[in-house]
Amino acid sequence: MSYTALYRKWRPDSFDDVKGQDHIVTTLKNQIISGRVGHAYLFCGTRGTGKTTIAKIFAKAVNCEHPVDGSPCNECASCRAIQAGANVNVVEIDAASNNGVDNIREIRDEVQYSPAEGRYRVYIIDEVHMLSTGAFNALLKTLEEPPSYVIFILATTEAHKIPITVLSRCQRYDFRRISLDTIAARLRELTDGENIQIEEKALRYVAKKGDGSLRDAISLLDQCIAFYYGQKLDYAKVLDVLGAVDHEMLGQLLLLALAGRTAEVIYKLEEIVMQGRELSQLVTDFIWYLRNLLLLKSSDMDADALDVSEEDLKQLADIAASVSEETLMRYIRVFSELSNQIRYGTDKRVPVEIAFIKLTRPSMEQNLDSVLQRLEQLEKRVQEGAAVSYPAAAVTVSAQDAAQSAEPEEKKEIVLPKAQLDDLNLVRSEWNRITGQLGGAARVALAGSQVEPVQDGVMCIVFQDAGTYLIGARPSVLEQVRDYVNETYQKSFEFKARQKGANEAAGTVYVSRDELEEAFHMEISMPEE
Ligand SMILES: [Zn+2]
C-alpha cells in the first residue's frame, strides 16, 4: 500500500473541516447561498494557512449540483470530478513556474468559450506575485471584463508585490496564522483518526513548531510518525526528530557562557553541529529559552504557560535564580541581532560562534548592559574572596587577572638577526590575511593574537587568553597556518602557540643589530646639532 502524506489525506473537502479561518469561510458560504459570487478573489497570508484548500472547496461549491448550506456535496458528478482532478473547469496554475505572458494569454484565449458543462470555470493561480509584469498586464485585461462564467482565485504569501491595478479588481481575504490551540486540536483529530499514539505535550510541541501554519505542523507530525513508526510518540522522541535543541543542552550552553568558559562553549557548539542540529533553529530555541527564563524571573509562570515539562521547569527555575535580568536582556539582544544576521547568510557557524563569545566576554561590548554585567562578575568574585585588581584602563574579567595582581612587566626590546627580523615582519604584516583564511572558531580565536620569534624558522602565536588559546593552539590549526604560510610566501616556518602571561607587557619591540646601531648613532649624533 502506498503511503499518502497526512496533509493530502486529511486535506479538508468541505468548509466545515477548514480550521482557523472562520471569517473567510462564512463570507464565502454566504455568497454561494445567496448566489452572489464574485469574479476575482485575492487570498493572502502565510504559507499553510489554507488558501489553496479553501480555493478548491470554493471551486467545487460553485459548480456543485446541489450544495449543502454553501458547501459542496462531494457526491455529485461535478464534485467527484473536481476531487479527482479530472474536471476541466477547475484549473490550478503555479505562477512560480508559469509566470510568463504566454501562460496568461493561454488563459485569455480559453475564457472566450463558456464551459461545456458546469457553471463556472475557476482559475486558481498560486504564488501569483511571481507573475512577470507582462503577465500581470495580460491578466488585468481579463479581470477588467471577465466573462460571467469565469472566476479567478489568486493566492499569494506576498500581497504587497501585486500591482494595485490588479488588487483593486479583487475581493481581498486575509488568511490568519492559525492559533496553537486550533492546530493542536486538528492534529489530535488526525492522530485519533490514524490510531497514532502521541502524548499531549509532544503534540502541542509539534503544533507550536508549525508556527501558525497547519500544513507545516502536519508535515512535522508526519516526519515524527515516519521516524518512530508504530511507536507511541512522546516529547523526547518528537524533540529528537524535529532537531530541536533540548532544555538540558540549552542550559549547559547558558551556564558555560555565564561562567565565561569560552572554549567549552565553542566545543559544545561543535558537538551540537556534529549531531546535525540546524544552527538557525538553535538560535531561535536559545532566544526562546532565554525568554522563558526572563518570564520566570519576572512572574510566577507554570509549566503549561511556558510549554515545558515539570522537570524542565524546576531546572529552569534554578538557572533563572542564578542569572540577573540585565544579563538575560543582554543575551537576548545579542541573539536577536544574530538571528537577523544569519537569516540570509550561508555561513551561519562563524556568526553563531562570535555571538557566544560575546556572551562569555562582556568586555568585547562597550555598552551599558555589558558594563553592568562586568561589575556583577567582579562583585561576585570579591564576595568569593578573590584578590581583584582594577587596572586603571579597563575593568577586565579573565580569571587570571583576578588571581595574579603583580605589577606589569616593563616593555622589552629584543635584537634579532636581520633575516629572522625580515621573516617576522613579513608574517606580522600579513597576519590578518593568514588568519583570515582559517575557518570557524579558529579564525575568531586567532583574530586577536600576535606573533613572536622563537628561533630561525620558528614562530610562536601568542593568545590573549585561555579561551582563544584552547581553540587556536590545536595542532590542526597550527598546521593550517604553517601550510598556508609555506605555500603563499615560499617560507618554511613552524608555528608554536602560547598564552600571554597575565602581567606580560604588550608590544615588545624587535630590531636588527643594524637598526640598533643606526639608532644609537642617531642618538649620539643628535645633541651635536
Ligand atoms: Zn456536489
pLDDT of amino acid 402: 40
CB proximity list for 97: less than 8 A, separation 6 or greater: none
**Pairing, β 458-463 against β 450-455:** antiparallel
Cα 4 to averaged position of ligand 1 atoms, centre (Å):
24
Question: Distance between CA 77 and CA 56 in Å, rounded?
Answer: 16
Q: Give distance in angstroms: CA of 62 to centre of ligand 1.
A: 9
Report CA-CA distances (Å) from 509 to 362, 428, 515, 520: 30, 12, 12, 15
In this prediction, residue 407 carries a pLDDT of 54
Q: How far is the CA of 86 from the centre of ligand 1 (A)?
A: 14
Confidence at residue 395, expressed as pLDDT on a 0 to 100 scale: 35
- 8-state DSSP, 157: S
Distance 119 CA to ligand 1 centre (A): 12
Ligand 1 center to residue 33 CA distance, Å? 14
Helix (H/G/I), strand (E/B), else coil: 465? coil
pLDDT recorded at residue 55: 96
Cα–ligand 1 centroid distance for 51 (angstroms)? 21
pLDDT, residue 405, reads 44
pLDDT under 50: residue ranges of the chain: 1, 387-406, 522-529
* Ligand 1: centre distance to CA 153 (Å): 20
Q: Would you state the pLDDT for residue 350?
A: 84
Distance between Cα 68 and ligand 1 center (Å): 8
Determine which helix (DSSP H) or strand (DSSP E) holds 236, and give its type and residue range.
Answer: helix 235-241
pLDDT one-digit tens code per residue, 413-455:
777 888 888 888 889 888 888 888 887 677 777 877 889 888 8
Q: How far is the CA of 90 from the centre of ligand 1 (A)?
A: 14
Residues 6+ apart with CB under 8 A from 452: 424, 459, 460, 462, 508, 510
Distance 64 CA to ligand 1 centre (A): 4
The 3-state DSSP class for residue 170 equals coil
Ligand 1 mean position to 303 CA, how many Å? 47
* pLDDT of amino acid 373: 67
Instruction: Report how far ligand 1's centroid is from the alpha carbon of 87 (Å).
Output: 13
Residue 510 CA, ligand 1 centroid: distance in Å: 91
CA distance 24 to 55: 11
pTM of the predicted protein model:
0.55
The region that residue 127 occupies, defined by phi over 0 for left and psi between -120 and 50 for alpha, beta otherwise, is left
